[in-house]
Structure 1
């Protein structure tokens, strides 16, 4: 089944940034070199204290497309930034919304490659090169009842050039406005972590979501990693450790709402997440300090999980 031909001018790139003006400049420079370009670029600045505003102003004339810049009063995290960016792009009438962080650059034909899949699918994830030029492996499938990624889902593609996914990543999610309308905006309550997985999962319940074989982005920030052969495990931070565990409660609430929550199976997923973070501490960051943030996240998540007044994000008006 195919839809209407893809119109690049009806697409918006949404970028969330925070105190990384150098990386943002590099991303915007790559957008200026794109062919075709999107109709607009929406930049959500999470209350940066560096020269982000000046960087945006300096590229307006050269980027070759409209820039919509929003500087928030407080740092709302990646979750809040993408929620505001999605809202802005949606209200501006964008048919396609392409989400990305500030630490990537777009390949010159990236939008054309994504657009080639647009007549067939409405939730699409392209591939990325890692900082060193290798293919970045992304866990595109989740074990639904456990609410965790499947670590070694097949990386290869067959002759179709795509694989079905039931997750999402805001570093490259390409989504149609009709799906956004049905599932609402990304949930800002996550602040960081698990937000894009849940959003991609919600999208996959409304449409056939796919990851495609085309490379469209390149990461521009080096992250400390543990090379496990099949894949890498990245370094983290105390903030990430806290939200990784706390936000399990938000997944739990979404699962309850959609009738897929199984306390035993989901609890196993939470336990495996905790163990994974301990392994990350010991083998990537070479320390045992930071476990207190995992326990704080579990404690605060417990309160969220017991809140029977909790409601998911609402669908949007047409």
Structure 2
């Protein structure tokens, strides 16, 4: 009997974290059931990433491990776009997108399989660095244009919740949905790309968050737990793009007739306030406010770009 996981490709984006990448590849090599492809997108790393990948070549069957090195660092957004493209070119029916700072739990595909028979876009659960359960929870409020947290009670008695947002730290997407909505948009570089991608998918299919553990986080970050959500520290690059890319979110909402300009402006102000709170609560200072303001201002160029179009479908 053919399994729904038979043509599942894992698409990993990495940049200068070869040790973490090696741990992830080890988990991919030892998981129950072999993935159809393991596509490693190297965002022009300057460490020993290529050597680490090659050291795993014999751990996988012929043709399973695909190393795709980019000439420049295109950010997570560009990496996931390329990883998805390569996976589909390799003949994958499913693409499981993930950063290099997680490990795959041995029985992950077994846990996903029953849900894959029902949904075409899935998120499983993960354990945090310390082994505690991590509850990723976000659902777009379309008036504000921001994903807001919901509670654990969102899981219904059957063990899943329907959402319209997502994360590339574990999003599993069927190839038919990719063909319909296009590749992840590399123009985001980092931030908001995954939330928007799941939102686009939700316009055509149900996006499910399932109560099944499939990943383990490996990279430690400064973090505070607010109950309904966690806040991590972030780099200046992430701070800049979280504000600049609000314009991309708005353009996508507008293209699909969902943009409420008053509500979206309020959502952008709330996003700025959240990022300032992150600075104070997690990073213990206000260094970074200028970067947030610059990102907000630079988003105006995206709003004014008359040539801008959404990513095209692949069909």
TM-score (norm 2): 0.97
Unaligned runs of 5+ in 2: none
Aligned equivalents of 2:4 and 2:61: distance in 1? 16
**Number of the residue aligned with 1:18:** 15
**Number of the residue aligned with 2:182:** 184
Give how far 1:90 is off: 0.9
Q: How big is the alpha-carbon RMSD for the aligned residues of Structure 1 and Structure 2?
A: 1.4
**Number of the residue aligned with 2:30:** 33
Aligned equivalents of 2:25 and 2:164: distance in 1? 30
**Number of the residue aligned with 1:56:** 53
Unaligned runs of 5+ in 1: none
Cα deviations by residue, 1:211-240 (Å, 9 ceiling, x for unpaired)? 000000000011101232443211112111
* Contact 2:11–2:41 under 8 Å retained in 1: yes
* Contact 2:104–2:216 under 8 Å retained in 1: yes
After TM superposition, list the pairs within 5 Å mapping 1:43-192 onto structure 2: 43-64=40-61, 66-155=64-153, 157-192=155-190
Give how far 1:5 is off: 5.7
Give how far 1:156 is off: 5.3
* Contact 2:136–2:229 under 8 Å retained in 1: no
* Contact 1:5–1:119 under 8 Å retained in 2: no
Aligned equivalents of 2:155 and 2:200: distance in 1? 24
Aligned equivalents of 2:260 and 2:140: distance in 1? 15
Aligned equivalents of 2:227 and 2:178: distance in 1? 37
Q: How many positions carry a matched residue from both structures?
A: 314
* Contact 1:16–1:45 under 8 Å retained in 2: yes
Aligned equivalents of 1:258 and 1:8: distance in 2? 32
* Contact 2:108–2:215 under 8 Å retained in 1: yes
Aligned equivalents of 1:7 and 1:119: distance in 2? 7
Correspondent of 1:295 among 293, 296, 301? 293
Give how far 1:151 is off: 2.6
